[in-house]
Amino acid sequence: MNKILLLERLQDERDRFELLLNRIGFTRQLTMRGVIGGLTVKDLLAEVLTHEQFIADRLSEILHGETYAPSASFTALENFQREYNYPDYESSLLEKDKFHPLILDLYKNIEFDEIASQELAVYTSILESIDKLTHHQCLDHDLYHRIAEHTYRPYRRTSTAIHQWLKRIASELK
């Protein structure tokens, strides 16, 4: 993969994700519980935001010559969460593809529009960082894979959950 291909794929996935969120927002279903368990679209967007913030911060570190190492102990994991206000998503101690209660606590009193605004700003930051990175930096830090893991793969997971939820709602209304 190269940066051009990554950016094309990222933008394509992003466009689909935004279209779905706009469709849900238009029908005012953003805070209805039950998308996954008791979670709402707002909760899932907060999860997407924290994944994007995670990779945005790692990209910034790379651009500034800093080194990130995934948390190798539970103490380090807790310290990371306390420092950054999101989980260390690349730590082997963290369950992958599982919603983290920390996110619910952080964003429970924040309106959907504010989360969406923050998420868009972080997404823009990611694009700006990718533009500044060299191809060799991307390869040296496995960024093509890591950026996908924290951007468009969460978009896909969230979109799949929302589509399944919408189908459930539609079948219940019949």
Q: Domain count of the chain?
A: 1
Asked if residue 119 belongs to a domain, the reply is: yes
Report the chain (174 residues): mean pLDDT per 10 consecutive residues: 92 95 77 86 95 98 95 96 94 86 90 93 97 95 96 95 89 74
Residue 117 lies in a domain: yes
Asked if residue 81 is part of any domain, the answer here is: no
Residue 115 is part of which domain span?
3-66+99-173
Q: Is residue 75 part of a domain?
A: no
Q: Which pLDDT score is estimated for 29?
A: 75
Identify the pLDDT of residue 174: 66
What DSSP string describes the chain?
A: --HHHHHHHHHHHHHHHHHHHHHHHHTT-TT-S-SSTT--HHHHHHHHHHHHHHHHHHHHHHHTT-------SHHHHHHHHHHHSS--TT-TTSPTT---HHHHHHHTTS-HHHHHHHHHHHHHHHHHHHHHS-HHHHHHTTHHHHHHHHTHHHHHHHHHHHHHHHHHHHHHH-
Query: CATH no. for residue 35?
Result: 1.20.120.450
Within a domain: 74: no
**Could you tell me if residue 87 is inside a domain?**
no
143: in domain: yes
User: Do the domain assignments include residue 85?
Assistant: no
